[in-house]
Structure 1
Amino acid sequence: MDKRTKTKLTYLQRARAGAAVCDHLVIELRETARLALPLTLAQLGQIAMTTTDLVLIGHFSSEAVAAAGLAVKVYSVCVTFGMGLLAAVATIAAEAFGAGKLASVRRSVRMGLWATLLLSLPIMLLPLLSEQMLVALGQAPDAARLAQQYLVGLTWGLAPALWFLAIRSFMGAVHRPQPILWIMLAAVPCNALLVYLLIHGKLGLPKLELFGAGLATTLVNFATFLAGLWFVTTRRPFSDYHVLAHLWRPDWTQMRRLIVIGIPVSIAFLMEGTIWSAAALLIGMISTRALAAHQIAAQVGAILFMIPTGISMAANVRVGYALGRNDGPGVKKAGLVAILLGTVTSAILAILIIVARFEIAEFFLGNQAGALIDLTTDLILVGASCFVTTAVYSIALASLRGLKDTRIPLLFAAVGYWLVGFSLSCLLGLKIGFGAIGVWVGLSIGTTLYAALLVLRFLLLASRLGLQGR
């Protein structure tokens, strides 16, 4: 064989290898998007319920929307801590599903339901005692009183909301998340109707105002959990797993795995949730007007965050699935494809939000004073970069969860959010005097550092697994 023939064959082999790599990436992108789409839409449905509450409450006054925003922050701290533990359910179940260990999938879901019950009972005390806590933290007494009214109605839906998340984790882990989307599509309009009726006392119902808004969401949380339970127990392929079989029998080995993986995730999530709560408290010390603007900008960010959150759930499952198959290169491919997908999607949405920021502010505030609308649009503009970096870190963090790497990311959260982000927020917002905008700039810098550390960590671990897989 002459030299030209060898060169031609080498070129063809490289072209085929390159085409094969592209095919694998396209397949991974398609599988990630297929899994992420219903999870993302379900997440948007979840945040839509809270947004509905804020929109309906916001037409009372800026004080009411500020109080409701504070209440949501307190409630989110509780939900966030539970979400961390339930993230371990998806991690363990996805790996077991990839390895074909279906009994382990069932045990992880069963212990997730038990852990949720045991966890939700003590953490319900926090929102029920929120008025005294908020006043002690420097919030206006009237805002704290209104926030307490909302939370008294909202808190009782905490346990069913977390149970529903456990069911969602199971459905995602076995690559069948579509029923969650159907449930949320029904829940959003039902929540909007109930919130309106109970706030204003329509159709013969009592006028409950902020308490009614919280109670409406609690009732919907119970309904979504029962709907999810019906799917799991009666519809195939979910019923084949018999996740409620031997429900009263403890599985301490599986519970220990959930705790070891989930508690660091819960603490990291708690750091994430409390940094935004701390930011709200800092801005509340500036003025009620600044707090109202912050709540709206943060709510816009929370809506955007649901999209990368859905992608991050898919990344967790895909990485865990590849790990269960002992596919080292597949682990790296799954994580990087998800990070790229989330980054591009969030960047496009951030640009759209910047363009529409004035309309968004007017939607939430109606005919409020122009100064409040101006501040809200400024915060949305400043927070655009924060929205994108938040997407990156959430997907990278979920990819690391798929590898059961949760302790080092906890350290990264402490450094990025609190050591850097919160310190800069205090300095820029209160000491230098940039106000709410300064607080948001500090948070944006902190999230950027956190995202960079997580991506580097994932690349390091995935590269090691890729080398072992060769």
Structure 2
Amino acid sequence: MDRPAQISDSKLPPGNPWRAELRATASLAWPLILTNLTMSLIGATDVLMVGWLGAEELAASSLGFNLAMICAIFCMGLVTASAPMMASEIGRMAHSVRDLRRTFRQAMWAAFTVMIPFWIFLWNTEAVLLFMGQVPELAAKAAVYVRAYMWSILFFLFTLVARNFLSTLEKPIWSLIIGVAGVIGNAIFNYILIFGKLGFPALGLMGAGIGSVLTNMLMFGGMVLVLLFHPKFRRYQLFGRFWRPDWHRYAQLWRLGLPIAVTMGLEGGIFAGAVLLMGLIDTASVAAHAIALQIASLTFMVPMGLAQAATVRVGIGFGKRDPVWIQRAGWTSFVLGTGFMSVMALFIWMFPWQLAGLFMEGNTPQNMEVLQLAVSFLAIAALFQIFDGAQVVGAGMLRGLHDTKIPMIIAAFGYWVIGIGVGAGLAFWLDWRGLGIWIGLASGLGIVAVLMLSRWMMRERIGLLPAQSLSKR
């Protein structure tokens, strides 16, 4: 059990490597997918319960949450570098203990380091939103939410590092178990703190933020218990001599992780930027965008999990210097991810009213306006499902090859030049309003997907494979 790369090899029966890779990828990916789904369900619970407070509170929390998520996703990208680093270490030496422990430790150090400036930034949420032209009432309420929520991000990052370790050992089931506990805990914390149950005061938006802090503390605490006491993980002594630096590895993680952080920040930022653009239109557009984006995020969890599996599987092949392994691992995840999103595109297109109605009842004229807008946005969201799946799995495949700098440039061009540029132009110059913003999002995702896939297909020609591996062909 302590030799994950060899376990994977043992699952590959002779003569049928593609089917075996499918099984290996699926066994790694499904707990990751369900874990990602639990993370999305936590967000959906927040949207659902805050939505019960009213459209204005939902719009304010959406503005604050998306500003915080720009920061959180950037930080998440940095510590994501620990996954391909640990996977390639396993590929080089299946018995690796010290290298995995050092990478784990320095990823935790990096998480704390990068959060300090972002905490300062998020503390000034109201001023930031006012500078961006948002409605003062919404900016003030968003700041109340963010000043509580922002402390949860560090615990989320620590949990993510632990998840990367478990994924590298191809034992992600514990991440799923803890994620399910997080969903339940978040619902309980939010219900008590938002609405004032069990003798607690009704804290509204602040209660939603505090609930997120408690939820992420709960999940990280669960991870610590598993890593310390589970017999398969405790031999790594991940928290032993935690104060001991490894500056070379710390710098290596930043070199690999910073482009990932920028890439993921640009990807998350385009959606947060879309929220800010919606805020320049009206409150109903912001609320409708929050509903449509939450639905799209739920389906996105599947290709995101497959992208994480692709990073590990390709990363192991990269460490082994095996181009055939790399090829099979990458294409298997890609086909699974795009195939699933094609099905989801059809589902969203067929049932938009039913899906939007899960988040808000059309019992007032204001709510009905929000629902109508959400349905129109979902028509476009259905179209870009395939692009979204293709680009995230493609990025995961390239990360397995430790290729992060050019994908960062691709993301910058596709998301912000094409995505925001086209969206803003259609929304304000052609007066397509929120619908134009969503068309811009779809355009940006499509461009990124094509460019990521093209780079993967040229991986040997442009030197992404280790030179030694070519002799194995």
Provide the residue aligned with 1:459 in structure 2.
457
Give secondary structure in 2 for the equivalent of 1:116.
helix
Given the alignment, which residue of 307, 315, 318 partners 2:302?
307
CA distance in 1, matches of 2:216, 2:127: 26
Counterpart mapping for 1:209-288 below 5 A = 209-288=204-283
Provide the residue aligned with 2:40 in structure 1.
47
Deviation of 1:127 after TM superposition, in Å, equals 2.1
Output the amino acid matched with 2:449: A
CA distance in 1, matches of 2:29, 2:15: 20
| Structure (1 or 2) with the larger CA radius of gyration | 1
Give secondary structure in 2 for the equivalent of 1:176.
coil
Deviation of 1:356 after TM superposition, in Å, equals 2.3
CA contact (8 A) 2:81 2:253 kept: yes
CA distance in 1, matches of 2:188, 2:139: 26
Give secondary structure in 2 for the equivalent of 1:119.
helix
CA offset digits 1:393-444 (Å, max 9, x no partner): 1111011111011111011011111111111111111101111111111111
CA contact (8 A) 1:164 1:228 kept: yes
Deviation of 1:353 after TM superposition, in Å, equals 2.2
Output the amino acid matched with 2:234: S
Deviation of 1:233 after TM superposition, in Å, equals 1.3
The alignment's TM-score, normalised by the length of structure 1, stands at: 0.93
Q: From the superposition, tell whether residues 21 and 298 of structure 1 become closer, same or farther in structure 2 (CA, over 3 Å).
A: farther
Given the alignment, which residue of 58, 75, 80 partners 1:87?
80
| Runs of 5+ consecutive residues of structure 2 not aligned to the other structure | 1-12
The alignment's TM-score, normalised by the length of structure 2, stands at: 0.93
CA offset digits 1:225-276 (Å, max 9, x no partner): 0110111111121112111222111001111110110001101111111111
CA offset digits 1:129-152 (Å, max 9, x no partner): 111111111111111111111112
| Runs of 5+ consecutive residues of structure 1 not aligned to the other structure | 1-19
Deviation of 1:372 after TM superposition, in Å, equals 2.0
CA distance in 1, matches of 2:271, 2:277: 10
Counterpart mapping for 1:59-458 below 5 A = 59-100=52-93, 101-366=96-361, 367-369=363-365, 370-458=368-456
CA distance in 1, matches of 2:122, 2:67: 6
Output the amino acid matched with 2:69: S
CA contact (8 A) 2:35 2:176 kept: yes
User: Aligned Cα RMSD in Å?
Assistant: 1.6
Deviation of 1:74 after TM superposition, in Å, equals 1.1
- Return 334-343 or 368-377, whichever deviates more: 368-377
Deviation of 1:354 after TM superposition, in Å, equals 2.3
Output the amino acid matched with 2:406: I
Provide the residue aligned with 1:17 in structure 2.
none
Output the amino acid matched with 1:382: I
Q: From the superposition, tell whether residues 462 and 295 of structure 1 become closer, same or farther in structure 2 (CA, over 3 Å).
A: farther
More helix per residue: 1
CA offset digits 1:9-43 (Å, max 9, x no partner): xxxxxxxxxxx997211111111111111111111
CA distance in 1, matches of 2:138, 2:350: 31
Output the amino acid matched with 1:213: A
CA distance in 1, matches of 2:15, 2:352: 38
CA distance in 2, matches of 1:39, 1:93: 17
